[in-house]
Structure 1
């Protein structure tokens, strides 16, 4: 199986079985931020709780295309239990990487390579990340 096929399979897995996605409210989370992409119909909320600038819990809810849901799922997995400093660094790296810059990102996010060269899907990839950063900025962390 080629890397491309493997990445597509992993994206599909995160879409069909998203990690940290909830159906109900994110009421137990300290911070909840919403992101939407009217062009694609993506509409999600990202919620997280901090303890000493460590992301103790993170969840998301909403609806979206396969790329948006898979990216949100991968994001939550990659930063849960990490510092807000690390999460901001990874979000910035993702922004550069999805824009085509030669930036290293964590291995677990590489399946997003399957859509990196599709300009119309870049906002879908970054929607959850932008909501996360907006929430962290609001907390002054």
Structure 2
């Protein structure tokens, strides 16, 4: 498939998840949650996870943000349902490398599925934090951290 066609397809995936975000609701009886914020763009969201027998049995998010932030969060919730805690952390690492451009070969990883659409973000450094915010919040929730910021721990504390 030509690069232009693939880019258009990936753009449509992101737009669809922004327009119709999946799992966009608060969750009662979550096992863990974390608030995430990106002061540079104004994105703020909460990620809730229900973890049973070391598996993500349910995940949701709610908040406000740019199209990339919302789409990434929506795509994350679909990708992580049913995954083990360890697989969720491994996917977090892969997506981080994808959106930062740290590992260009990761964009060919078929296991990422539609998440590969986020790879284009690496060309726009100001958008990397938008795409990674939900993932940082998910990882923070699994680690037992209540608040996370794209600007570091000091900024996260001021959010509470």
Q: Name the TM-score, length of structure 2 as normaliser.
A: 0.81
Matched, 1:14 2:17: yes
- Which residue pairs with 1:110 in the alignment? 116
Q: Moved runs in structure 1, 4+ residues, more than 3 A?
A: none
> What pairs up with 1:43-122 in 2 under 5 angstroms?
43-100=44-101, 101-102=103-104, 103=106, 104=109, 106-122=112-128
| Greater Cα offset, 122-131 or 96-105 | 96-105
| Greater Cα offset, 130-139 or 6-15 | 130-139
Rounded Cα–Cα distance in structure 2 between residues aligned with 1:5 and 1:68: 18
SS at match of 1:48: strand
Structure 1 portions without partners, runs of 5+: none
- Which residue pairs with 2:155 in the alignment? none
Rounded Cα–Cα distance in structure 2 between residues aligned with 1:28 and 1:15: 26
Q: Deviations over 1:31-63 (max 9, x none)?
A: 110100111010000000111100001000000
- Which residue pairs with 1:34 in the alignment? 35
- Which residue pairs with 2:7 in the alignment? 4
Per-residue deviation, 1:27: 2.9
Q: Name the TM-score, length of structure 1 as normaliser.
A: 0.91
Bigger radius of gyration among the two: 2
Rounded Cα–Cα distance in structure 1 between residues aligned with 2:100 and 2:137: 18
Q: Is the 8 A contact 2:98 2:119 kept in 1?
A: no
Rounded Cα–Cα distance in structure 1 between residues aligned with 2:20 and 2:34: 22
Give the length in aligned residue pairs: 137
SS at match of 1:11: helix
Rounded Cα–Cα distance in structure 1 between residues aligned with 2:115 and 2:136: 16
- Which residue pairs with 1:125 in the alignment? 131
Per-residue deviation, 1:138: 1.7
Aligned CA RMSD, in angstroms, stands at 1.5
Structure 2 portions without partners, runs of 5+: 146-160
